[in-house]
A and B are shown apart, each in its own frame.
Chain A
Amino acid sequence: MADLESAYPVPAGRADRPGGPPEDWEAPRERWLSTAVRPAFGPRSVLLEVATRLLTPAILTFSVFLLVSGHDRPGGGFAGGLVASMAYVLRYIAGGRHELAAGIPMQPNRLLALGLLLAGGTASAPLLFGRPVLEVVSYTAVLPLFGKVKFASYLLFESGVFLIVVGLVLSVVAALGARMEAEEYEARERGGAWGPEEGGAA
């Protein structure tokens, strides 16, 4: 193993290695994201930040396409929600927890609750008219430019599912990524990687 280590160069980007490039050699000079960027993992990277900036609108648009097309083609609220939440996950990876907080419209929990209300409400609305749960009402209209368009109550239900999925993924990111990162940061501020009790000087 020692032979291998000496045969291959040390990975770049380590600030503690004399002779290696500085830690922020990949960091962009321009502002690509909306907050002061502190990435979730490792140093800043121009590639990641530009890609995030360019991809976020495309991913979100695609997620809405999936949501709308889900009635009789592959897609639907679940798939759409997963895709949409990936846009935020990407943003979190590129820009850190403040970037995530700046990007999401409301707290993940609230998003989840609203989605559940919307889906549950649409599912149970037919009960008020004595019809079975989850029954779909649809209405086909002819619009200029679009042609024949079908509006159906399943779209509301699927939107609810969409919100639930986004809310759930963001809760997971917030709990397992952002909050742990914040705690680690605080511990580092107090001194020592694991806080003053276990490691290093306070």
Chain B
Amino acid sequence: MNALLAIPFVVPLLGAALALLLRRHRRVQAGVAVATLAVVVADTALLLAATADGTVLTSQAGDWEAPLGITIVADPLAALLLAVSSVVLLVVQLYAIGQDIGGLSRAMPQVFHPIYLVLTAGVCLSFLAGDLFNLFVGFEIMLTASYALITQAPTRARVRASMIYTVVSLTSSILFLTGIALVYGLTGTVNLADIAVKLGSAPAELRMVLALLFLVVFGIKSAIVPMHFWLPDSYPVAITRISAIFAALLTKVAVYAIIRSQTLLFGRDDISTVLLCVAIATMLVGIFGALVQDDINRLMSFALVSHIGFMIFGLGVNSVAALAGVVIYLVHHIVVQANLFLVNGLIRQYVGHSSLRSMRGLTTVSPVLALYFFLPAMSLAGIPPLSGFVAKVALFQAGVGTGGWLVYTALAAGVVTSLLTLMAIFRVWARGFWGTPMPDMVEARERLKRGSHLGGLKFMAVMTGVMVVFGVAIAVCAGPLSEVAFTAAHGLMNGSAYIEAVLGSDTR
């Protein structure tokens, strides 16, 4: 049990060290990196199997008693997100290896793999952290690695974008640390379960202030409006495989932290009005931004911001059904975002840029590419029977079940956002995919077919295909997935199982 909980963040760190030592041997290094992530995938699958029935697994690092030492906790929510994230991480890594074999990227593979594994460790530690400070450490490991990744293959634009990204992230980290200090001052502990017990007796106003502070901290990192401005400026500029993993995981880790802190630590109902208003703003501002973009990557980044709003909406509705909807949405969104950015990377390989204005007839240039774009894009818009539809139905049903004018307003905003997403995707489709291809695009394809890059490109396409299949599989497995999601949501609404697992049953 101890090993199961520690492997997701210890093994990637060891793998990163080995990969750094093996910088000169690129094949061995890639092998080590893939093997490391394969171990993590297998381990998280076991974790998910062990927690799917609602069990909460804990491990006390160094064998120190719970409120004093570092606690590692896996509940169904954490295990589910870990399992999905590690699969996405592995697929994106294989895609990156394909890109490197083909010599299709200017990024330095010898430092890419170690940093990528460190990022993996940070993501896993954030999901498994049982205390606020370790959550902070997980975030920092993840963000420090991302600072290095965003400037891979540096250009003027990338350095500029990474400065915005770094400054914004550091600001939120300072606020995070301040919040931890305040919580510690109030309760004398940083253990999440212990805080949950002790905050209950704290004054309601103080609890409200802390809840809002943590909402701002994680809100900056998950790019909810009005703290979203940095994301469309920084993510699209990085090389594609890196923006894919950022878009898929980093914001979702922050959403996970919002869910964890708002459900476990703070009062349940007092903040939901704020959450609903923020959700409406996020959905609408994000999608209106997406509608006017010319660059596909920027368009997808705005769509990403907009769809974070759906998860905040579910949290604001605050019922078991709504939280289950949020969990399904998280899983769906991780896979779909990664997928769309990987496809954008392939488009960039084919066309050489990502500007819609000078792109036409991609369906003729590569029918497979069109299919790869079409499926996740329709899923994002929520067209049945794809996973986005399942997630949205779960959320909207929960909203209708709760009622209230604000919830209905948010629901309306959600429906409008879905339609506008569809419109944004049709814009991409009509401009980039339909029509007769531009002559230089046909030429570029011929060059690619004759060139020596073909093997790497095919491998990248296969990995994108794997991601598409994974996305479709989510819709196919919607039944078991929603069971796990409901178990996770029950655990979130009623924190006692979590608290008992961490502190022992006699403390309550």
Contacts and interface: CB of A to CB of B under 8 A. Distances in A.
Interface of A: 109-110, 112-117, 120-121, 123-124, 126-128, 130-136
A133 B72 contact: yes
Interface string B35-72: 00000000000000000000000011111000000101
A128 B114 CA distance: 24
B419 interface: no
B210 interface: no
Contacts, number: 66
B23 A117 contact: no
B21 A110 contact: yes
Going nearest first, the 5 A-B pairs with the smallest beta carbon separation are A116-B17, A113-B20, A133-B6, A127-B3, A117-B17
A123 B10 contact: yes
A121 B14 contact: yes
Given A132-B63, A134-B62, A136-B62, A117 B14 contact: yes
28 contacts: A109-B23, A110-B21, A113-B20, A114-B17, A114-B21, A115-B17, A116-B17, A117-B14, A117-B18, A120-B14, A123-B10, A124-B10, A124-B11, A127-B6, A127-B10, A128-B3, A131-B63, A132-B2, A132-B59, A132-B60, A132-B62, A133-B2, A133-B61, A133-B62, A133-B72, A134-B62, A134-B70, A135-B62
Contacts of A120: 10, 13-14, 17
Contacts of B2: 126-127, 130-133
Contacts of B11: 124
B62 A116 contact: no
Given A116-B20, A124-B6, A127-B6, A133 B59 contact: yes
A134 B13 CA distance: 14
Interface residues of B, number: 23
A175 to B, nearest CB: 11
Contacts of A134: 61-62, 70
Nearest to B19: A113
A130 B2 CA distance: 6
B257 interface: no
Contacts of B3: 127-128, 130
Nearest to A121: B14
A112 B6 CA distance: 22
A133 B18 contact: no
Interface of B: 2-3, 5-7, 10-11, 13-14, 16-18, 20-21, 23, 59-63, 70, 72, 114
Contacts of B23: 109
Nearest to B62: A134
Contacts of A115: 17
Contacts of B21: 110, 113-114, 117
Given A127-B7, A133-B61, 14 more contacts: A113-B20, A116-B13, A116-B16, A116-B17, A117-B21, A120-B14, A121-B14, A127-B10, A128-B3, A132-B6, A132-B63, A133-B5, A133-B59, A134-B62
Contacts of B59: 132-133
A116 B21 CA distance: 10
A133 B10 contact: yes
B20 A109 contact: yes
Nearest to B2: A132
A27 B244 CA distance: 55
A126 B1 CA distance: 12
Contact of A135 (B5, B63, B72): B63
Contacts of B17: 112-117, 120
Nearest to B7: A127
Contacts of A114: 17, 21
A120 B11 CA distance: 8
A133 B11 CA distance: 12
A126 to B, nearest CB: 8
A113 B24 CA distance: 14
A112 B118 CA distance: 13
Given A130-B2, A134-B61, A136-B62, A113 B14 contact: no
A126 B20 CA distance: 24
A181 to B, nearest CB: 19
Contacts of A128: 3
A113 B23 CA distance: 11
A123 B2 CA distance: 12
Contacts of B13: 116, 120
Nearest to A126: B2
A131 B7 CA distance: 13
A114 B14 CA distance: 10
Contacts of B62: 132-136
Contacts of B5: 133
Contacts of B18: 113, 117
Contacts of B60: 132
A116 B16 CA distance: 8
A123 B11 CA distance: 11
